[in-house]
């Protein structure tokens, strides 16, 4: 059997997100099929600096060591995000919002500490995650970062990361990246950064997709539009949910044959697209390894099992795996 990483060796790197549930058997799958990892949560702000000045690097360090020990690349996820960042970070001792200057100083301190620690060991950093608003005319999502610092919080984050490690490859990462409205906003945001000389080197397309959406046409148009900016493209969090986003069903306890077939079909189409854009796509990362664990079992419907990957709950290949392999 061909492995994923061998099959796509001349196309792109194949990655998977790891987490505290990644057990021995999943580690074997990782070593066999993947040549890159991303920490699903362990490099996020709340994990690295849960309390002011008190960093907890143990698990993140272990993942970095695992990547190094197994000749894998590692994506760093993520430095500046509105989620999973503790409240204290934005507050002073009296519980009021800190000043712009103070928040920039704290941002710089965090970025310098984290990026310097892993200097030379991180293939690409998701410096800013999900800063663009999905709907409406506004470009930026409301957040403490935006409200306290202003729109240039993004510029600062990239400058700090670049100062901390001038050789690091720096990404802007977002979801709904194939939506025609959001695509234009992401393009605008990144174009603005480039025009101002901000050190950014890539765009991350999260690719949280499902059996029905987005359309292949929208995906292609997004890749083409982002590629026009001349940056690298990474697919950063690929999973293919069995349910549409609006579907709140909870009664499906195992994937039907039809679901598995449709999923295989979708995966094949996606990888055909990735393959055809292999000159701009440098890396394709799944947001997990096997169906044994996926964040989608709690999102957007809590406690609903999902089966979004190429390997089933026991680590066996699914129909989707065969179809992906058949693309080349």
d(CA 80, CA 158): 10
Give the nearest distance from C-beta 18 to ligand XIL in angstroms: 11
Active site residue 258: no
d(CA 188, CA 139): 8
CB nearer ligand XIL, residue 7 or residue 78: 78
Q: Which of 26, 40, 130, 237 is catalytic?
A: 237
* Residue, CB closest to ligand XIL: 295
Backbone phi, psi, residue 76, to 5° = -95, 125
Nearest to 209 by CA among 249, 171, 169, 238: 238
Q: How far from each other are the two terminal CA atoms of the chain, in whole angstroms?
A: 14
Other beta carbons within 10 Å of 119: 12
CB nearer ligand XIL, residue 7 or residue 129: 129
Give the nearest distance from C-beta 102 to ligand XIL in angstroms: 26
CB nearer ligand XIL, residue 11 or residue 40: 40
Give the nearest distance from C-beta 10 to ligand XIL in angstroms: 28
CA dist list (Å): 206 to 10, 77, 82, 96, 132: 22, 12, 16, 34, 13
CB nearer ligand XIL, residue 3 or residue 41: 41
Give the nearest distance from C-beta 40 to ligand XIL in angstroms: 5
Provide the binding-site residues for ligand XIL, judged by CB under 6 A.
40-41, 129, 175, 206, 237, 295
Give catalytic residue positions.
237
């Amino acid at each position: 059997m061909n492995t994923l990483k061998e099959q796509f060796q001349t196309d792109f790197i194949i990655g998977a997100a790891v987490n505290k549930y990644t057990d021995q058997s999943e580690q074997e799958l990782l070593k066999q099929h993947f040549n890159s990892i991303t920490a699903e949560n362990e490099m996020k702000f709340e994990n690295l600096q849960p309390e002011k000045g008190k960093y907890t690097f143990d698990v993140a360090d272990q993942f970095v060591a695992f990547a190094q020990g197994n000749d894998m690349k590692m994506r760093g996820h993520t430095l500046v995000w509105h989620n999973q960042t503790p409240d204290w970070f934005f507050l002073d001792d009296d519980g009021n919002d800190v000043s712009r200057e103070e928040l920039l100083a704290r941002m710089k301190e965090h970025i310098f500490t984290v990026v310097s620690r892993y200097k030379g060991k991180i293939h690409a950093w998701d410096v800013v995650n999900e800063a663009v608003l999905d709907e409406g005319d506004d470009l930026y999502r409301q957040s403490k970062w935006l409200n306290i610092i202003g729109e240039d919080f993004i510029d600062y984050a990239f400058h700090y990361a670049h100062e901390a490690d001038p050789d690091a490859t720096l990404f802007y990462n977002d979801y709904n990246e194939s939506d025609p409205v959001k695509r234009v906003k992401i393009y605008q945001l990144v174009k603005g950064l480039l025009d101002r000389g901000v050190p950014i080197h890539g765009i991350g397309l999260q690719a949280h997709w499902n059996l029905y959406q987005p359309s292949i046409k929208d995906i292609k148009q997004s890749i083409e539009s982002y590629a026009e900016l001349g940056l690298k493209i990474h697919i950063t969090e690929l999973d293919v949910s069995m349910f549409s986003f609006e579907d709140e069903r909870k009664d499906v306890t195992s994937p039907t044959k039809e679901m598995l077939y449709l999923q295989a079909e979708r995966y094949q189409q996606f990888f055909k697209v990735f393959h055809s854009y292999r000159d701009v796509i440098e890396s394709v990362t799944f947001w997990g390894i096997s169906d044994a664990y996926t964040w989608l079992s709690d999102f957007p419907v809590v406690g609903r099992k999902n089966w979004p990957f190429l390997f089933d709950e026991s680590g066996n290949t699914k129909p989707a795996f065969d179809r992906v392999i058949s693309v080349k």
